[in-house]
Amino acid sequence: MAGQEQQQPQSRDTEVEEDIPAPPAAPEAQASAATQGVDDLLDEIDGVLESNAEEFVRAFVQKGGQ
């Protein structure tokens, strides 16, 4: 019966793309990529941190709370 026929999964693309895993990076390369990520992050955060850290932190004074 038609209802029991196996349905082929519909794909928008006719060509099948295979996931080819990238070759694993050498451990040193991974480590330096991680360091690069942290450096990038710190560079970005340097750009958004309030200027004059000492004064900003000192002026942040809160009144009582629960």
Token pair belonging to 57: 């932190």
Which of the stretches 9-17, 18-26, 44-52 binds another protein when contact is defined by CB under 8 A?
44-52
Distance CA 32, CA 26 (A): 10
Options 1-9, 11-19, 20-28, 56-64: segment touching another protein (CB under 8 A): 56-64
CB 40 within 8 A of CB 48: no
Does 65 help bind another protein (rule: CB under 8 A)?
yes
Q: How many CB atoms lie within 10 A of CB 11?
A: 9
Binding site for another protein (CB under 8 A): 38-39, 41-42, 44-45, 48-50, 53-54, 56-66
